[in-house]
Structure 1
Amino acid sequence: MARLRVVQWTTGIVGASALRAILDDDRLELVGVFAHGAEKVGRDAGNLAGRHDTGILATDDVDTLLALRPDCVVYMPHWPEVDLLERILRAGINVITTARLVSGEHYPADAGARLRAAAAAGGVTLVGTGMNPMYVPTLALASTAMCREVQSIRVTESLDCVGYASAAMWKGYGFGGPPDTERLREILWAAEPDYREALDQLASGIGLRIDDYDLAVECAVATDDRDLGFMRIDAGTVCGVDATWTGASDGSDIAQMQTVWTLGGIFGARQEPEWKLLHGYRIDVQGEPNVTLKLAFRPDDYTNFDIGTTTAMPAINAVTAVVAARSGVLSIAELPIVTAQGKVRKSIA
């Protein structure tokens, strides 16, 4: 089978992890790389991935990359540019993305309809995925298959995220700032429309439609100054955020997405109040029967663990399914089950 031609779009924490995975995947052929920063433009993809040179140089020229006519763009900035996604889709190029976008329905300027129209015009597919959203919510939907009836689904992410060393992202979420929960709610409501889109997918998966959304936010403050290496959090400023997104249908709460994020507690830094973390994910289905799943990942070598792996791999492992799928803006739950096909490492006796 001919390899699928892929362009990797951005090479940050998750993008660089995806770039390594593409280079290692016998099903995929890297043909181009988009770089945001001027310091990355002109560098070899292998260099950006910490690998041997490939002869493929990173560029910020969109026309050049679209002219390559790849089968798929692996689109991984932190937040999406809807105009750019429209352009890629209308050029007849499939897109798999982890850029905080599930469907586009809760982004401004009628983004969902625009993306659907672009995918239809190009005859291609757009799928949003990543760890949470959408891998964990998809796993939650799969767990309802054993239920006679379902009343609600709750997905909880509870992690110390200090390994994800992006000061711009965490400051953008209010970390290191004043403990004003109303301000934090406004920040998250604007920055994370993908969580409302994930609620839509959870509801749709059990045959319901959400008609009301809510977001409740609590925060924790650092009791001492802490230097995380990539950013500083002063005493009295936000070092943890607990956000619960709720979707209701006909007055009943049917889907919830909770994210509990802290920075630095894993190293012994104290906060007020103290929170007991799951260090992973929990899925709770209220129904007949009730279902609870706990999910965590533990690398063999935590010190050298590629922190972008768990977000990048649900996308890379889905590329072949996305290219083969019908056109449109699809949920990852609408694809065949995505697995680590071809990535089995036999143990040594």
Structure 2
Amino acid sequence: MPTSQLRVVQWATGNIGTHALRAVLDHPALDLAGVYVHSPAKAGRDAGELCGRDPAGVTTTGDVEEILALGADCVLYMPLTCDADVVCRLLAAGTNIVTTRGEFHHPASMKPSLRQRVEAACAEGGTSIHSTGSSPGFITEAVPLVLTSIQRRLERLRIDEYADLSRRDSPAMLFDVMGFGRSPSTFDERRLTHARTSFGPSLRLVAEALSLPLDSVEASGELATARRTVEIAAGTVEEGTVAGQRISALGMRDGSPLLTFRATWYCTTDLEPAWDVRDTGWRVTVDGDAPLDIDIRFPVPLERMASVSPGYTANRAVNAVPMVCAAEPGIRSTVDLPQVVAAMA
């Protein structure tokens, strides 16, 4: 890995991006070179002040050309939507990318036209791009690869994710985006099957790394309603409206699920039908010749979860910057990179 300071740009300063910005400012091996912001209200401000820190001497900008002119080693790319033109311009200009966007976890799962464009840009700039985060990323790739390293026979690996959203004070996200509080009859069914595109690439990546390629990735979903009206931090969830969502991605091999990811998100535990829900965190079970049953809990009060949880996604991306900058050009997956090790001091 590089031993000199790496010049990094933070691209976007939403919840995840703001946390990443603080992490870059604190990182002993990274120097903040620039910050790209989408909102005009954020442009022209000092990066440190924007994220609640002392002045950093770096002024934010909404001008892509200014970012390109910096010639940074890496961009932490964290927008709400992926702009392929911008991604390719950065890569072709010689700037590596670590992103929490999900498009680049598994090259073979990408749209062929996008993959071709990105690989060409990487070749031109001698750069690499890597998608990571907490989920997908850490829990769907890094953890399964470690746990299967003590297996010689794998029958099934299952990841369960749980998120208690009752104290999440984000009405727009919970009600408008996720659809909580709606009648089940009006719920957008596409949300229940997006697990195939969101988590399927990670399952395929792990299966191929284990020399057990999947035949297909199937997706399913189900809803639960509130048994009675409940007040949550984001507002009111009426009796009979959506209060629980469960999505699953099943990596199928020889007619059975070899790898499974299932997310259960809920606003109350008083659900119809009754679900077995756990505190926010993950449970990973491995059936093989070295069986495992592992709980990973987030020991954070629900009132603080919204401020703490972005770190689970942002920190891994920041920690991966040196490995990505040292990687061979191309779209680099978790399997391609060395283990991400955090430089704490």
State whether TM-score is above 0.5: yes
CA distance in 2, matches of 1:60, 1:230: 31
In structure 1, what is the Cα distance between the partners aligned to 2:265 and 2:28? 36
* Deviation readout 1:226-283 (Å, 9 max, x if unpaired): 55455554443322211110121343322111111123x3xxx743334322421111
The alpha carbon displacement at 1:91 in A equals: 1.8
**C-alpha offsets along residues 168-226 of structure 1, whole Å, 9 cap, x if unaligned?**
44432333333249x54413545872311111112112112223221110112234555
1:252 aligns with 2:256: yes
Give matches, 1:65-104, under 5 Å. Answer: 65-101=67-103, 102-103=105-106
1:346 aligned partner: none
Q: Following the alignment from structure 1 to structure 2, what is the Cα–Cα distance between the partners of residues 296 and 79?
A: 29
- Give the drift of 1:336: 1.8
Instruction: State the Cα RMSD in Å.
Output: 2.6
Cα pair distance change 1:121/1:30, threshold 3 Å: same
- The 1-side partners of 2:22 and 2:46 are apart by 13
Letter in 2 for 1:179: P
Letter in 2 for 1:90: A
Q: How does 1:1-349 map to 2 (within 5 A)?
A: 1-101=3-103, 102-103=105-106, 105-106=108-109, 108=111, 110-137=113-140, 138-162=142-166, 165-170=169-174, 171-180=176-185, 184-190=188-194, 193-226=197-230, 228-230=232-234, 233-263=237-267, 265=268, 270-275=270-275, 276-299=277-300, 303=304, 305-343=307-345
> What is the identity percentage for the equivalent residue pairs of Structure 1 and Structure 2?
34
CA contact (8 A) 2:282 2:297 kept: yes
Partner amino acid, structure 1, of 2:294:
L
Shift of 1:29: 0.6
Contact 2:196/2:219, CA 8 A, preserved across alignment: no
Higher alpha-carbon deviation: 64-73 or 172-181: 172-181
Deviates more, 1:129-138 or 1:331-340: 331-340
**Worse-matched range after superposition: 281-290 or 310-319:** 281-290
Tell whether the 8 Å contact from 1:149 to 1:288 is kept in structure 2 after alignment. yes
Partner-residue secondary structure (3-state), 1:40: coil
* Aligned-partner Cα distance in 2 for 1:122–1:189: 36
Mean CA deviation greater in 331-340 or 134-143: 331-340
Q: Which of 76-85 and 220-229 deviates more?
A: 220-229
Which segment is superposed worse, 110-119 or 317-326?
110-119
- Segments of 5+ residues of structure 1 without an aligned counterpart are 344-349
Partner amino acid, structure 1, of 2:93 = A
- Cα separation, 1, equivalents of 2:301 and 2:166: 18
State the SS of the aligned residue for 2:262.
strand
User: What is the CA-CA distance between 1:167 and the residue it aligns to?
Assistant: 4.3
Cα distance in structure 2, aligned partners of 1:222 and 1:70: 50
Counterparts in 2 of 1:180 and 1:339: CA distance versus 1, 3 Å: farther
Determine the C-alpha separation between the residues in 1 that align with 2:117 and 2:237: 40
Q: How big is the shift at 1:87?
A: 2.2
Q: 1:232 to 1:38 in 2, by over 3 A?
A: farther
Give unmatched runs, 5+ long, in structure 2.
Answer: none
- In 2, the alpha carbon distance for the partners of 1:89 and 1:129 equals 17
C-alpha deviation, 1:100, in angstroms: 2.7
- Give the stretch that moved more between structures: 288-297 or 168-177: 168-177
| Residues 120-167 of structure 1: CA deviation (Å, up to 9, x unaligned) | 232111111101111012111111111121122221111214566554
CA–CA distance in structure 2, aligned partners of residues 273 and 118 of structure 1:
50
Q: Which amino acid aligns with 1:175?
A: F
Q: Distance in 2 between matches of 1:37 and 1:98?
A: 20
| Structure 1 range deviating more: 105-114 or 129-138 | 105-114
* Alignment CA distance shift 1:65-1:232 (3 Å): farther
